Every structure is written in C-alpha cells, then in structure tokens.
C-alpha cells in the first residue's frame, strides 16, 4: 500500500509569491490528472507530473471530460478557500444553504458587534435610504444600551452578548471562511446570480471572477438561470393561493408532523438485516415478535463501545422524522448549519412576533425591546410595498419564521449531542430538548441515548 499527499490548502499569499513563476499553480492540475486515472495505465504520480508540465493540455482535458462527457465529479477534486467579508446576515442565510461546502462564521454570540451595516441598493432605489439609516442607528444604539443594561443587572457578559444581539437587524455584516469544490461553486454562483437580492448577485460576480481566473476549465457556466430566478415568481403565486386557505394553526413552536412507519421495528430490522443473511421482510417479522426489552438490547449492543463523539450506526438513517418549528433568526442561524437535514423555510413573519430572551425581561427592558421591534415592523411594511425581498434586511434577529425540518435518527443523535448540551445557546437548546422528548415517546427503543454531550455518560451508564 502507498499513500501520498497530492496537495493541500495553502495561503493565497504564498501562492501569489510562486504563481508568477509557473502556471501550474492551479487546482485544474489535480482535477485533470485524477480524471485520467480510470483509463491511463500509468502511475498516478506520472500523470500528475504530466499535468503540471502541460497546463493548457490539462485544461483541454478538463473541458472535454467535465463538460463534454459530463463527468462533473472530476471538478470536485479542485477546492477553493474564500474569505468573505462585508456580507449581510440575510445574505449569509442563502449562502450557507449550500450543502456541499464548509463555513465558519464570526459569531455574534461571542463577539460584541460594531456598526457595520449593509445599505442594500434596493433600499436606495425605492427612496427609503434615510428611514433605513435612521432605523439602523436606532437599533445599533438600542443593542448597545441593552448590552450595558444587562451588565448593570449583573448578567454574565456572555449572556449580555448573546441576548442583546436579538435586537440586531439582518442587515448587519458578517465575516466567514468558506471551503467549496469547483463543481458546487459553479452551481452556487449560478443560483446566487439568479437571486432577487442584488447583494447576492454581486457576490456571485466576485466569486465567478476569482474562480474563473484561477481555474477557467472548471467553472465555465456560472450565469444566472431561468430555472432558479423564476422560482421567486412561482413562490409568489403559490403564496397568493395560501391567502385563500383558512388556517387553524395554533403556532406551537415544535410539532412532530410525521415519522417513518413502525420506526422502532424498522430500526431493529435494519440492524438484523445488516448483521445477518436474511431479507428485510423476515427481519421485520422477527422484530415484531420481540419484546421491548429484546429490542432495546439489540440497540444497546450497537452502542456499547460508543464514546461521546462517535456516531450511531448508519442503520439509524432509515428512520425519518419531520418537524415543523418556529424559530427566531438567531436560532435559525444555528439550525441551518445542520446541512445533512432537509430544511424548507417560510419568510420571516410579523404575525409570529419576536422572541424575547428571559434576560431582557429580568433587566426590565421589554418595552424598549418591543419598541425596536415595532419600528422595524413599520419600515418593513414600507419596503414591502416597493421591494418585497429587500424588506427582510430590517427584520431583527428576534424575528421569527416557520421551518420544515426533516431529519433522520442518526443525524438527530448528532444534533442533540450538540444542541441539547448545557453549553448550547438557550433557544436552540430548548428546541432540541422538545424535539428529543417527542421522539423518545415515539421511539422508546431507538432514542435511548438522545441528549446533550453533558448527559452522555449518565445516559450510557443507565443502560448497563
């Protein structure tokens, strides 16, 4: 066996110092050489050497294989790292919706935020720039006042930072690092270029310019697409249809809408199936005949050697759970990071009100908080009359929306380890605990170790 490093991420400053001496400093070389592995009998090291020495030929090969023959996965061997700064929190929600990329964002939870605000072009165009700037200044001042008031009320500084940010608007800027392969990047650029927000169109243009300058043979079709842009109009039409529907929704914050039929028995059957030589039908019949204790013993056996950060077995993915939740923008900022789930969102809704942290109530700042929310709401309505999509910039982190959250049981174990833990942010911790409680009632066998990292040892010892 041989294992060699073919490449790794290095800082762009170092690349810039070397790149002028050779055009081979491009991720296209890796993609082109790996594309030939299946049909070239030579050693991979020789193939990569040839690609480095003949970049033009490598680019032609990429274009033929990726775009001519349709083997798009070859582009996934080229990986980019981007620093993205001065982007609004609203735009970040769209950017971080892409599954096959990695993001690390500067957190409003741990860092005191300054006055950096995006002024959207849509707001300038509709003549509401002055009102927008006045609101942004007011919210920034109220954010700082609330932070100081919490400190005066003897709240911990971490709580003051975490909860005062609920008054910040989605127009506040963010910084993040993004790692993405060329195939996903091309898809990302096309979707962002098709968006109704001009800020995201600008981001698409900047990403495209950089990527095509570095790897022109891998990012060739980043233009806006009718399929993506027309989705906004379709949603408007569908939204109009819902206006005629009378809803009896009482707006519970967490609902378990559906789950895989006979989920505990299916999980046990899947474990029997993968460990034996019987068909799934016979495995399910066997599971149905077992007592609850026998089924728990089977699941417990898979967890005997599991440590805190280990994942449960993949068989747990056969159980799916569909939730409808109502969360604030602050909570959604964390929820959206679980990209192995399926997340469908509604726009932020004034009808759902705002989420007011308990610390705000403790320091007697509810009236100030509600005044800020009301001012945001008034300008939101004004912008909605002119530019529907830009109105969300003035929504607060406290603003709420409905989310359809589809998660398999294996991913829920990961989610609960992180989000039910005592160190988790309070709103998403409450959400996770409610979800886990509902699931434990439905799956007394499969959910025996759902919970936060802090309670893992205690839960595991109770299974002995």
pTM, two decimal places: 0.91
302 assigned to some structural domain: yes
Look at residues 77, 102, 132 and tell me which one is the last residue of a structural domain. Answer: 77
Q: What span, in angstroms and rounded, lies between the C-alpha atoms of 367 and 344?
A: 33
294 assigned to some structural domain: yes
Residue 36 annotated as catalytic: no
**Residue 77 in contact with residue 34, Cβ under 8 Å?**
yes
CA distances from 70 to 65, 185, 189, 286, 437 (A): 6, 17, 19, 45, 46
* pLDDT above 70 coverage of the chain, percent: 97
216 assigned to some structural domain: no
355 assigned to some structural domain: no
pLDDT number for residue 45:
84
Mean pLDDT, residues 1-11: 76
pLDDT of 242-276, one tens digit each?
777 766 565 689 999 999 999 999 999 999 999 98
Give the total number of structural domains in the chain.
2
In the predicted model, what is the mean pLDDT of the chain? 90
pLDDT number for residue 49:
84
Q: What span, in angstroms and rounded, lies between the C-alpha atoms of 375 and 382?
A: 11
Look at residues 281, 316, 351 and tell me which one is the last residue of a structural domain. Answer: 316
Q: Which of 59, 191, 417, 419 is catalytic?
A: 191
Determine how many CB atoms are found less than 10 A away from the CB of residue 69: 10
Q: Given a cut of 70, is residue 19 above it in pLDDT?
A: no
**Residue 425 in contact with residue 333, Cβ under 8 Å?**
no
pLDDT band at 25 (very low <50, low <70, confident <90, very high): confident
Look at residues 77, 99, 116 and tell me which one is the last residue of a structural domain. Answer: 77
User: CA nearest 378: which of 354, 358, 394, 398?
Assistant: 394
Report for 9-23, 84-98, 379-393: range of highest mean pLDDT: 84-98
Q: What span, in angstroms and rounded, lies between the C-alpha atoms of 53 and 65?
A: 19
Q: Which residue has the tokens 């990695």?
A: 102
Mean pLDDT, residues 437-458: 95
121 CB-near residues (< 8 Å, 6+ apart): 198, 199
Instruction: Say whether 355 sits in a helix, a strand or coil.
Output: coil
pLDDT of 301-332, one tens digit each?
999 999 988 999 999 999 999 999 999 999 99
Domain coverage including residue 266: 261-316
**Residue 352 in contact with residue 401, Cβ under 8 Å?**
yes
**Residue 204 in contact with residue 189, Cβ under 8 Å?**
yes
pLDDT of 76-98, one tens digit each?
888 999 999 999 999 999 999 99
73 assigned to some structural domain: yes
How far the first Cα of the chain sits from its last, in Å, is 41
437 assigned to some structural domain: no
Torsional sign, CA 245, 248, 254, 255: negative
Structure tokens at 172: 């506040």
Q: Given a cut of 60, is residue 206 above it in pLDDT?
A: yes
pLDDT band at 151 (very low <50, low <70, confident <90, very high): very high
312 assigned to some structural domain: yes
**Residue 450 in contact with residue 412, Cβ under 8 Å?**
yes
298 assigned to some structural domain: yes
Mean pLDDT, residues 98-106: 93
Q: What are phi and psi of 72, to 5 degrees?
A: -65, -20
pLDDT number for residue 192:
96
265-284 as b/e, with b when 16 or more CB fall inside 10 Å?
bbbbbbbbbeeeeeeeeebb
Mean pLDDT, residues 161-184: 95
């Amino acid at each position: 066996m041989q294992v060699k490093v073919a490449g790794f991420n290095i800082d762009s400053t170092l690349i810039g110092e070397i790149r002028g001496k050779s055009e081979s400093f491009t991720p296209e070389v890796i993609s082109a050489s790996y594309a030939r592995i299946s049909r070239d009998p030579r050693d991979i090291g020789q193939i990569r050497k040839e690609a480095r020495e003949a970049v033009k030929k490598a680019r032609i090969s990429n274009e033929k294989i990726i775009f001519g023959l349709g083997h798009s996965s070859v582009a996934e061997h080229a990986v980019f790292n981007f620093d993205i700064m001065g982007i609004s929190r609203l735009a970040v929600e769209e950017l971080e919706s892409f599954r096959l990329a990695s993001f690390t964002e500067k957190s409003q939870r741990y860092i005191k935020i300054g006055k950096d605000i995006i002024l959207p072009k849509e707001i300038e165009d509709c003549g509401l720039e002055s009102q927008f700037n006045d609101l942004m200044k007011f919210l920034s001042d109220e954010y700082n006042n609330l932070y100081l008031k919490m400190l005066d009320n003897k709240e911990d500084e971490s709580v003051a930072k975490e909860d005062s940010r609920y008054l910040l608007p989605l127009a506040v800027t963010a910084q993040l690092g993004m790692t993405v392969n060329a195939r996903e990047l091309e898809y990302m650029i096309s979707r962002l270029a098709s968006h109704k927000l001009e800020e995201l169109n600008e981001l698409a243009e900047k990403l495209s310019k950089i990527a095509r300058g570095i790897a022109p043979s891998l990012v060739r079709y980043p233009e806006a697409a009718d399929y993506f842009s027309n989705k906004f109009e379709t949603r408007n039409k569908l939204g109009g249809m819902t206006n005629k529907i009378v809803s009896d929704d009482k707006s519970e914050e967490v609902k378990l809408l559906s789950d895989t039929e006979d989920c505990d028995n299916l999980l046990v059957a899947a474990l029997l199936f993968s460990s034996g030589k019987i068909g799934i039908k016979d495995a399910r019949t066997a599971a149905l005949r077992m007592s609850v204790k026998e089924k728990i013993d089977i699941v417990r056996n898979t967890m005997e050697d599991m440590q805190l950060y280990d994942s449960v077995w993949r068989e747990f993915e056969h159980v799916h759970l569909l939730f409808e939740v109502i969360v604030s923008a602050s909570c959604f900022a964390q929820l959206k990071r679980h990209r192995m789930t399926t997340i469908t969102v509604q726009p932020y809704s004034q009808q759902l009100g705002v989420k007011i942290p308990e610390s705000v109530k403790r320091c007697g700042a509810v009236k100030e908080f509600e005044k800020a929310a009301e001012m945001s709401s008034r300008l939101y309505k004004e912008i909605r009359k002119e530019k529907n999509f830009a109105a969300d910039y003035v929504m607060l982190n406290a603003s709420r929306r409905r989310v359809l959250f589809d998660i398999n049981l294996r991913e829920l174990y990961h989610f609960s380890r992180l989000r039910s833990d005592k160190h988790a942010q309070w709103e998403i911790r409450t959400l996770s605990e409610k979800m886990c409680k509902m699931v434990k009632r439905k799956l007394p066998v499969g959910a025996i170790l759902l919970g936060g990292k802090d309670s893992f040892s205690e839960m595991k010892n109770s299974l002995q």
